[in-house]
Amino acid sequence: MKMTKPLILVTNDDGITSKGIKVLIEEMSKIGEVYVMAPDSPNSGMGHAITVDSTIHIKKSPIFGEVESFECSGTPADCVKLAKHEFLKGRKIDLLVSGINHGLNSSISVIYSGTMSAAIEGAIEGIPAIGFSLDDFHYDADFEHTRPYLGQIANFVLKNGLTKGTALNVNFPNQKKGEIKGIKVCRQTNGYWQEEFDSRKDPHGRPYYWMGGYFVNREPEALDTDLWALENNYISIVPCQYDLTNYAALDSLTKGGIES
C-alpha cells in the first residue's frame, strides 16, 4: 500500500528569502510534502498581528524549486490563515513549522515573536505546530547544527501529536558555544525587556525615537527554564498555549466578591 506523505505547512517571520526558512524547508522535504506560505518581507516583532485595514497580495515564488511556495504581503498569522482556509482548503495540514528565526524567542520574547505567533495560529486552527529559533541574529547565521534536530522534533510531533491548543517553542543555542548537549523540555523564563529610547531629531526638527534595551532575567538561578537550557548549550522546548486565562485567579476573584 502506498503511504501518503504528511502535509507540512512552512512559514516564518523573517521573510521568504531568509536563510533560516531555506534550511527548514530542506529538512521538512525529507519527511513530508512541503507547502510554503511566507511573508514577502521581514515581519520580526509583529506578534499576532493580522491585516484588517488593507488588502493582502499573494504571489507564487520559484525560490524553492519544485516545492510549492507563495510569498504573502501580510503577517505571519495572515500566512497561516490564508494557507489553511484558501490555498489548502479541504486538505488536512498534518504539521505547521515556523522559522527558523534569526534570533532567540525564549522567555517573554514569545509574546512579540512573529515566528511563534504563526505557530500559535496553527494551534488555534487545530494544527500541530512548532516554532523554531536560533540564538544568532546575524543575517548570515549558521543553521547547519540544527538540521538533525529539526527532523527529530518534527517526526516526534507527527507521530505523537500535541495537546489541543498547544504549540512548541523550540530554541537552538548558537553553534559557537560548541556541540549541542541534547534537548531539554522547559518552562518559560520569568523575565522582561527593559526598554531604552534614543531620542533624536530629523532635519526638520521633529523628534523621533529608536527603541533599544536589554533583557532582565528575574530568576537567574533557576535550573528548569529555557534560558538555563540555552546558556548550558541545550535545545530548549517550551509547550505554549493561546489560552491566556489565569485559572488560579478565577477562584480568588470570585471569592473576593467582584461578581454581582
Asked if residue 101 belongs to a known ligand binding site, the reply is yes
Element housing 217 (H / E): strand 207-217
With contact defined as beta carbons under 8 Å apart, do 105 and 74 qualify?
no
Strands 191-201 and 183-185: unpaired
Place of cell 510549492: 68
Asked if residue 44 belongs to a known ligand binding site, the reply is yes
Q: Which residues pair with 169 in a beta bridge?
A: 131, 238
CA dihedral 13, 130, 153, 87 (to 10 degrees): -80
* Amino acid letter, 24: L
Whether a cis peptide bond, with omega within 30° of 0, leads into 58 is no
With contact defined as beta carbons under 8 Å apart, do 189 and 107 qualify?
yes
Q: Cell digits for 200?
A: 533624536
* Amino acid letter, 134: L
Binding residues: 13-14, 44, 101
Binding residues for a divalent metal cation: 13-14, 44, 101
